[in-house]
Each structure stands twice: as C-alpha cells, then as structure tokens.
Amino acid sequence: MGVKNNLVVTDYYWFTRFSGLFGINSALPEVPIRIKKRNHKDQGSDFCCIDHLLWLSSVLLKAICHLYELHCFHRSYSANNTMEFIQEGDRSKWMVHSNHSIKCFTKGDIDRMTNSYRTCLGRGAFGEVYEGVLEDGSMIAVKRFIHNVKENFAKELIVHREINHKNVVRLIGCCEEENALMLVTEYVANGNLSDLLHDDNRPVPLDIRLRIAIECAEALAYMHSHMYTQVIHGDIKPGNILLDSNFHAKLSDFGMSRVANTDKTLHTNNVIGSIGYMDPLFALDGRLTVKYDVYSFGVVLLELIARKKATTVVDNVNIVYAFTSALARGFGGVRWMFDAEIANKDNMKVVEGVCKGSR
C-alpha cells in the first residue's frame, strides 16, 4: 500500500490469487483498486470506482456459485462407480458421453419416496417397478433390480443416462447402494401401449395411433442417428411404449439396449428382445444393428392397425408372417386384418400407407 498524489493505491492481486482457488481467475484480469485518501473538503472521496466494485462483486458471486457447484457435485451420480460393475474387458464398449446429470438417492430416500414399496406398477425380467413421490410432489417410478445383478444395472443406467428426448422416459436418478440397485424415472400415467390395444375395450382413434407411431419413430431416429453415441434399444414392443395422460408415447426399459460407439458391428451370443418382435436375420448370425429396432417397430405398426398381438396365430402361422405374405400379393389381401374401428372408407388410404411402412 502506498500514497501518491493524495491517492491510496491498494493492489488486490491477493484477491485474484484467492479466486484462483475456485478456478475462476482465468476469466478475470488482475485489477488494482484505487481508493481516494480521506479529504475533509471532499465528502464523496471515500467511494471506490463503480467499475471496480462491480468487478469485485462478480468475483465474489462466481466464487459462491462455484462453491455451490462443488457441494452439488458431491451429491451427484458418478459414472465411474457404475463402470466398476462391468467386467474390465467389456468396459470400453460402454464408454459414453452423457448429456444430462442425474441425482443420487440413498436406499432410505427411496424407502420414503415409495412408502416402503407399497404400490407395484409391474414386473420385468430384471426388476420390479414401484410408484413413488418426490419431496416436491412429483410422481416417479422406481425400478428395483431383483437379484442385484450389478452388470445389468450398470449397462441400463449408462444407456438410459445418455438419452434425453421428449419421447423417452426421463431418467431422474439412481441408487447404487449394496443390495439396493435402483433407477428412478418420471411417472407415466396411462400405462403401456400393449394394455391399451389388447386389455382395454376403449376405442383408440386412428389419429392417436398414428401419433404414437410417429413419436416412437422420432425417438428411434434420435437414438440411431442424432446422438453422440448410437443406441440400439433391442426390445421395441408395445409393452415398452408408455403413454402419458394425453396418450403421448415414451420409450422405456433399456435393459437390453446396446451402445454402438465404434464403427464395428455389434455381435452377441445372447438372445435380445421378445418373441414376436425379434428380427429373423439377427437369429441367423447374432449381428445387432439399428435394423433390429426397425424390424421391431414394423411389428408395432402392424399391432397398431390390426389391434392384434404379434404372437397371434392366423391359419397356423404367425400374424406377422401372414401379413407380409398377404401384402406381397397386394393391399386387398391384408384389409381383413385391419381393426374394424379404423378400417372405414375415409381412413383406408392412410391405413394402407401405414402398411407400406410396416413391411
């Protein structure tokens, strides 16, 4: 500190060194603050230059924000922990660049949110799904992995965390505690497409069916072509297409999904998908490409216009095979398969257009 021409010149270089502890000084110049010496003849001479005060305030604000980020970081999910669940030789195949953060919950948190797993929404191959409520009142679904198969949990978490699309069920967080592997997602109110088509007598207008098909197609196009890391869902079927309160579609269940982060074709010796929706070509050589999802989606289109399950047998053959064989002879041969609710004269051209897409 020194006095020159009635000015007290104070160098605040120590402050910029302090801000360096927070990693913020790279964007801030080392600005000396000049303060006038008290002069009784000049009542306003004690004020600092406004621009320097603003600079000082911005440093403090950024430091506080950075401290808050550090605090949040310790409560956030770490992908490195999950990678430890996957066999070391297989980890390179599951390296992704996640595009959104998720929360890390404790088992106690989820016990409270689900009211001790009071309401079961469904069961699948890898786990059970329960209804829950966040502190802010938002409804959630909690998937609890049975048998605590860590590798299955890790792979599904890695893939789902990579996806951020309005027609994919949003992943909110996870729990990675011992014997408590769980995923927390948004709650989707209207069940799944399979229940709507096959276990519900409510009419389903053509426009809703088409919208569901379009939204599923948009989600698949995003996963296949517009993500940094390509994702193959591996189990597209009506049971994995959830419907919100306005019957908008959301893809769910990434337990069989794969990431294609290299130019090499994925090969697997394991069965992927569900009976009736598996690409026959995959069964021949085990090559997994986006065409697998496209085939499954074609079967879903058939279910949307026929309102019959993919496993339905017609004349001793599967309905998918019966449909493709009849369609090869022209549209007239498949009209009898259309759901009577939508197979009227006004809709016929649209329905035939859907048939072309499902081939």
Q: Let me know if residue 171 belongs to a domain.
A: yes
The residue range of the domain holding 152 is 99-186
Residues ≥6 apart with Cβ < 8 Å to 286: 267, 268, 269
Grouping H, G, I as helix, E, B as strand and the rest as coil, residue 139 is strand
Residue scoring higher pLDDT (345 or 290): 290
Residue 231 main-chain phi, psi, to 5 deg: -120, 130
Residue 180: predicted pLDDT: 92
In whole angstroms, what separates CA 226 from the centre of its chain?
A: 14
pLDDT average, residue stretch 200-226: 95
Do the beta carbons of residue 106 and residue 175 sit within 8 Å?
yes
pLDDT tens per residue across span 256-268: 888 876 555 566 6
CB atoms under 10 Å from CB of 10, counted, come to: 13
Task: Look at residues 137, 169, 186 and tell me which one is the last residue of a structural domain.
Answer: 186
Mean pLDDT of 26-38: 44
CATH of the domain at 112: 3.30.200.20
pLDDT at 305: 92
- pLDDT digits over 221-244, tens only? 999 999 888 999 999 999 999 999
Q: How far apart are CA 310 and CA 302, in angstroms?
A: 8
pLDDT band of residue 127 (cuts 50, 70, 90) is: confident
- Place 285 in a pLDDT band, splitting at 50, 70 and 90: confident
In percent, how much of the chain has pLDDT > 90?
A: 42
- Could you tell me which residues are beta bridge partners of residue 320? none
d(CA 215, CA 50): 54
Q: Are residues 15 and 64 in the same domain?
A: yes
Please tell me the distance from the alpha carbon of residue 121 to that of residue 129, in angstroms, as a whole number: 5
In-domain check, residue 245: yes
Number of H helices, E strands in the chain: 11, 17
- Give the CATH number of the domain where residue 218 resides: 1.10.510.10
d(CA 200, CA 95): 41
At 64, the pLDDT band (50, 70, 90 cuts) reads low
- Statement to judge: residues 232 and 311 lie in one domain: yes
Average confidence score pLDDT of the chain:
78
The domain tally of the chain equals 3
Res. 296 pLDDT band, cuts 50 70 90: very high
Q: What is d(CA 196, CA 213) in angstroms, rounded to the nearest whole number?
A: 14
Say yes or no to pLDDT of 8 above 50: no
- The verdict on 180 and 206 lying in the same domain is no
- 155 lies in some domain: yes
Q: Are 138 and 285 in a shared domain?
A: no
174 and 210 both lie in a single domain: no
Q: Are residues 172 and 238 in the same domain?
A: no
Please say if the pLDDT value at position 96 is more than 80.
no
- Percentage of the chain beyond pLDDT 70 is 68
Same domain, 114 and 223: no
* Arithmetic mean of pLDDT, 171-196: 95
138 in the same domain as 221:
no
pLDDT for residue 37:
45
Residue 201 maps to a domain: yes
Could you give the CA distance from residue 208 to residue 214 in angstroms, rounded to a whole number?
10
Q: Which of the residue ranges 14-28, 55-69, 100-114 has the most confident prediction, judged by mean pLDDT?
A: 100-114
Rounded average pLDDT over 137-162? 89
pLDDT at 334 over 70: yes
The answer on 329 and 225 residing in a single domain is yes
Query: Active-site residue numbers?
Result: 235
181 with 203, same domain: the answer is no
Q: If you average pLDDT over residues 24-48, what whole number do you get?
A: 45
Report the predicted TM-score, pTM, of the whole model to 2 decimal places: 0.72
Least confident of 108-112, 281-285, 318-322: 281-285
Average pLDDT of the residues in 112-135? 92
* 53: pLDDT strictly greater than 60: no
Question: Long-range contacts: 124-132, Cβ < 8 Å, 24+?
Answer: 124/253, 124/255, 125/255, 126/152, 126/153, 126/156, 126/255, 131/187, 132/184, 132/187
Residue 272's pLDDT is what? Answer: 75
Instruction: Establish if 94 belongs to a structural domain.
Output: no
Would residue 335 count as lying in a domain? Answer: yes
Based on the domain organization, do 61 and 103 belong to the same domain? no
In a domain, 88, yes or no: no
pLDDT at 329: 80
HSE, side-chain direction, 13 A CA sphere, residue 48: 14
Q: 36 and 68 in one domain? A: yes
pLDDT at residue 282, rounded to an integer: 82
Does residue 108 carry a pLDDT above 80? yes
